[in-house]
Amino acid sequence: MVRRCTCCGLEFENPAALYKMHLPACPKCGEFLEQAGFEYGLCDGCGSKYELMQGTKPSLLPNHKQRKAMNQVGRSRSK
């Protein structure tokens, strides 16, 4: 369980409550928190984090810049 956000550095008072959500995320910046048993990598093209779970295709999690764009216009415009 992550106790501090890797993006903004916010220390979580109750990380267990965040991990009860479907996709746990930092309440301050929205960075998705790493989960036990998942392997993560970074996309060379856009810098997004991706999850590798056994038997599935990797799924990209939007990075901070992409989340900011999504909050403004409803979708990411990454190239």
**One domain, residues 77 and 45:** yes
Residue 44 and residue 64 in one domain: yes
User: Which residue from 54, 51, 7 is spatially nearest to 29, judged by alpha carbons?
Assistant: 7
| pLDDT (0 to 100) of residue 2 | 84
Question: Is a pLDDT exceeding 60 seen at residue 78?
Answer: no
Whether 11 and 23 share a structural domain: yes
Sheet of 39-42, strands arranged across: 39-42, 49-52, 59-61
For 58-71, write each residue's pLDDT tens digit: 677 777 777 788 78
Do residues 76 and 42 both lie within one domain?
yes
pLDDT of residue 70: 77
42 and 32 together in one domain: no
| Beta bridge partner(s), residue 52 | 39
Domain shared by 10 and 44, yes or no: no
Question: Both 27 and 47 in a single domain?
Answer: no
Range of the domain at 4: 1-36
pLDDT for 58 equals 66
* Residues 2 and 13 both lie in one domain: yes
